[in-house]
Amino acid sequence: MRIIAGERKGHTIWAPKGLETRPTSDRVRENVFNIVLPWVEDARVLDLYAGSGAMGLEALSRGAKAVVFMEADPEAVRAIERNLDKLRLGGATVLRRDATTGLAAEAVSGRKYDLVLADPPYAMTDYTSIARYLPRVLSDDGLLVLETAAKTKPELPELAVRTSRKYGSTRVTVFEHE
């Protein structure tokens, strides 16, 4: 895996070994960032289910002001920290928390994000646990990018689908406030 564009274009990044983490492919990442490019520069980004951190690292490389990486798996957290050290990217915070607990804390704190990147396990098809917090952490003109299995058509109350696209076995759905 590598950074696709920006300040660290071409640099390789690590992902934890095993089946627990499914890094977003270079092709999907490139297409996602083509869609959300205007929201990245100087953005506050939340990378949920961060895994290797590939999405958030890409955002930092492309000019995001700050990225909060949220990941529960200790090996994945170590991979994110290792990638941040290797790439020497500033503006990053790594939180070892599950998405629901972390989102609840972010919502209570009143923090808002211009771009939320969420790549939950593909087996997850019920987003109820995170859906109530997502509108509260997304800035009024922000975007949420939700990556799912291609056959899944996610719906989130209080957020409208801006676009939904399939890339092989992956679906990327972009949401915004209604």
Both tokens assigned to 66? 């700050």
Q: Letter for the amino acid at 177? A: H
Rounded Cα–Cα distance for residues 62 and 66 (Å): 11
Rounded Cα–Cα distance for residues 51 and 5 (Å): 20
Q: Which domains does the chain have, with CATH numbers?
A: 1-15+25-121+132-146 (3.40.50.150)
At 114-137, the pLDDT tens digits run 999 999 988 888 888 899 999 999
At 5-46, the pLDDT tens digits run 888 887 888 777 754 556 777 788 899 999 998 889 999 999
Cβ 137 vs Cβ 113: under 8 Å? yes
Backbone angles phi, psi at 12, to 5 degrees: -80, 155
Note the pTM of the prediction, 2 decimals: 0.92
